[in-house]
Amino acid sequence: MIFTETELAGAFIIDVDRMSDERGFFARSWCEDEFAAHGILMPPVQANLSSNPRRGTLRGMHYQLEPYGETKLVRCTRGAIYDVIVDLREESPTYGQWLGVELTADSFRMLFVPACFAHGFITLQDHTDVCYQVSAKYAPGYERGLRWNDPAIGIEWPAVPTLISEKDRRHPDFQQLVHHSS
């Protein structure tokens, strides 16, 4: 695997290292030792799928509070997404900053999302599926969200969403997180 650290410390774009021949290619998409060599200790305890029939579907921006903070390894398995993360670590020099990466089924590219980051995406094609490996089990009482279009964060989405759940529409702004997260 090819790890590229992003400007948000601890977040990585991960490309598969393809071994190709006339049959196609073979590549690793997970290796505990390779992740550990980059300081990522993420034993997946849950795997999630998201199926999205319509282009323009926005999901996010989601995170879980400690002690149920989740690290995620996100991959698009059909179609394409614009995947976005926001650093919510108050002690981080990149606190409140965001990063967006296009993930497609054809590229096999993945995004590693550290704990204490909000995560979301918008589908760029109809019939888009996303797979997540997650380091913590879903804990409903610790689930939180950040408003996808909060001007204080300023995420530059590549398209206007056409479908957002009512729950995701109601997430608080960044300035309200301190009061909303406990």
Q: Mean pLDDT per 10-residue run, the chain (182 residues)? A: 96 96 93 93 92 98 94 98 97 96 98 97 98 94 95 96 96 77 46
In the residue annotation, 180 being an active-site residue is answered as: no
Tokens linked to 14: 């991960």
Domain ranges of the chain: 42-180
Q: What is the pLDDT of residue 178?
A: 60
From the candidates 62, 63, 82, 171, give the one annotated as an active-site residue: 62
Distance CA 180, CA 147 (A): 12
Task: Name the superfamily (CATH) of residues 42-180.
Answer: Jelly Rolls (2.60.120.10)
Place of tokens 């921006």: 61
In the residue annotation, 132 being an active-site residue is answered as: yes
- Contact assessment for residue 114 and residue 43, using Cβ atoms and an 8 Å cutoff: no
Distance CA 70, CA 94 (A): 19
Distance CA 156, CA 2 (A): 26
Q: Which of 125, 175, 166, 115 has the alpha carbon at shortest distance from 146?
A: 175
The 10 Å Cβ neighbour count of residue 177 is 21
Q: What is the pLDDT of residue 177?
A: 79
| Cα 139 → chain centroid | 17
Q: Which of 63, 28, 59, 30 has the alpha carbon at shortest distance from 168?
A: 59
This prediction's pTM: 0.93
Distance CA 83, CA 76 (A): 9
- Write the CB contacts of 170 (distance below 8 Å, at least 6 apart in sequence): none
CA distances from 57 to 17, 27, 93, 120, 127 (A): 30, 30, 31, 11, 10
From the candidates 82, 119, 132, 171, give the one annotated as an active-site residue: 132
Tokens linked to 48: 């999630």
Q: What is the pLDDT of residue 43?
A: 85
